[in-house]
Structure 1
Amino acid sequence: MAERAAYASDPSKSRGRLFDPGTSPTRSEFQRDRDRIIHSTAFRRLQHKTQVFLHHEGQHFRTRLTHTLEVSQMARSIARALALDEDLAEAVALAHDLGHTPFGHAGERVLNEKLSEWGGFDHNMQAIRVVTRLENRYAEHDGLNLSWEALEGILKHNGPLVDRNGRALRADHPVPVGLNDIPASADLMPWSYASLEAQAAAIADDIAYNSHDIDDALRAGLIRIGDLADVPLVGPFARDVLAHWPDIERSRQAHEVQRRLITAQIEDVIAESTRNIAEVAPQSADDVRFAGRTLIRYSPPVAEAERGLKRFLFDHVYRSDEVMAPVRRSQTVVSMLFDHYMVTSAMPGSWGEAARAASDRGTRARIVADFVAGMTDPYALEQHARLFDGAGALG
């Protein structure tokens, strides 16, 4: 591995783990984080969780797992170009979606509404619950016992969560429930920015969404390449591909547009981030945390174009009838499952025991949400069909 920059996270200077596992003769601390995440149950379940198109609709659309792998590859590429720790960037990328519910954001919206009385539900905070409490693989402790830097990256890869006094940054973004109750080796400083490695994972997530959701939408027939000709950011690539290769297979045209879009975004991010880092001149990872702004980002013109591309995707893909009809049915499935378990506590094993022993409805609701959020799409459909004889199931 190339030499890390002074502002990169250094695994030999990690703030450590809640439980000391001893040193490894073959792996750095951040490599151990990556490996623990990959071997987790929650990571395997991503294979059967929705990205945009529901899992049952076809075998070639992206799932949370394929999306996560694509994000991790891009995060490593950005980290390598900026002389960061690639393993930490990869670990944060691999964990960033572990808290997602079945049926993607549709399931998250339902659980957020169901838990509104008790602080709501947020997939990012749920990822923290997964890696610190819900993954129970080790004999000595709950959770994956990740390093401080990995936990910080999962928590804050999209930026600070509160101000220096612990107050919400905006009225529409309340302080996440459980923020002050995260098992970690030291204070995660939710008011500060995350490491550059975590910032690389965050923007890689945006790049993957932009590029690969276009690919899936083309596969699904929701849009055609010609529809992209005047769309910000992607338009020039679509026009050039259609001009030079008007008669090749549509799948090849789509891939050519997608790979150019990915390359352009990554190259812009690397160039802009290099300028930002030079301007701030951080000499340590903590200098990055206290810089007062995100350093890994798009250049202003590309950021504006990227917002335009997202508007196009919302209007023509995410809010299309072809996507929203099964989404609405999936919300019914999640809602009915949650309500059933709240009344009966009829969940398997320790889940049911914990729910029945809960001292109040809020505690029970969080246990039920943990159980439902951990479901894959097929398992949720199977349980719904078993409990309700298929009523309201996805057709």
Structure 2
Amino acid sequence: MKFIDVAKIKLFAGKGGDGAVAFHRELYVPKGGPSGGDGGNGGSIIFVGEEGMNTLLDLKYQREIKALDGENGTVKNMHGKNALNKYIKVPLGTLIYNNETNEIIGDIVEHQQEIILANGGQGGRGNARFANSKNKAPTIFEAGDLGETLEIRCELKVLADVGLVGLPNAGKSTLLAKISKAKPLIADYPFTTLKPQLGVVRDDSNYSFVAADLPGLIAGAAIGKGLGHDFLRHIERCKLIVHVLDMSGNYGTEDVYQNYLNIKTELKDYNYKLELRKEIIVANKMDLEISMANLATFKKQMPTADIIEVSGLKNQNLTLLINQIGTTLRSINENKALWQLDEPIEEQEDYKVYTYDMPTEKEVVVDNLGNGIWKVTGTAVYKAYQKTPIKTYDNLLLFNKKLQDLKVFEILRAKGAQSGDTVRFFDYELEWDG
């Protein structure tokens, strides 16, 4: 029984630290050389395959993931500290998409497999790096590069760990809605659920699992009556069966024990191992007065059964049920013979490794805003702007040199920029001197 578990997250890698402008000062050394240190690298965001996980529940609680910035450089040639990378564990089989372009970035298929999704920015150089024979006391420095930002969508094809089974109208949909964030269709008439509904549940020990509210069974389902094989096929892969019983006996009109036996018979007739699958019996609708008497009779008929009494409507004992399911699943996972069939139901899908190329953007864009005002943008221009803060005269000269190399001046002249016009470079406004 496969479902698609989806989580959307924005990633913000760490910015690189800024380089420093400093000069060596020491007694008897009045004119020491430049000693500004480099900035540290920003942290990257890395997804790691974890075979012990089976849901994307952890990611769903994180709208944004941010890595730390690198530290700035300081005096005495002391470099800033590199930020630690941020590692995010995801289940095996997770496909990662660029949510804006819908292109596949990566596919996590192996335990401990790593994919770098957002690279941290490189630290900027301090002024000590720019000293040479012509300029022995430079005030040039670099800002750290910005970290990559990306909105991703993670998709995981999951198998339900737990199947909620029972007769129509036993209260399975209500239970699933209460123990998870699923929103199945709920109404007081038979066959409300016509297809499996999925919910992700977390117990008190932070263990998460996938539960499914499965369409109700009727007598003869094993030979195709009602939803028949469509239903039974869904529970073949469930590790644990949670048998939900309407302990009111549909308000006294049915024999609860016989209802239980009917479901067990259908499971056995369809596949000889299904009736042997690990099972938790849930006595539901215990908020009704008639249910207490029916439960007492049912316990006499099944004296060794482990029964959890709940009321999905009144939220009674739901935490107890969740924790019991989690404990049982961990035990089952340690002994796969408890749930695996002799023959595989379906073949394992082939996995592919994908590569992703970021879309290219224009390097230089020059717009005439009118009234002698020009706007210069583009990826290459932004990189020069971000990397070269105009806080020193040397950096102003270096910024102009970078613009010249990008042919920004040629483009401005060709478009008719006049001496005295204002040219905007993001937050900077400079006067054009033709």
Whether these two folds match at TM > 0.5 is no
TM-score by length of 1: 0.22
Higher helix share: 1
Higher strand share: 2
Larger gyration radius, structure 1 or structure 2: 2
**Comparing both chains, which one has the higher relative contact order based on Cα–Cα distances under 8 Å and sequence gaps of 6 or more?**
1
TM-score by length of 2: 0.21
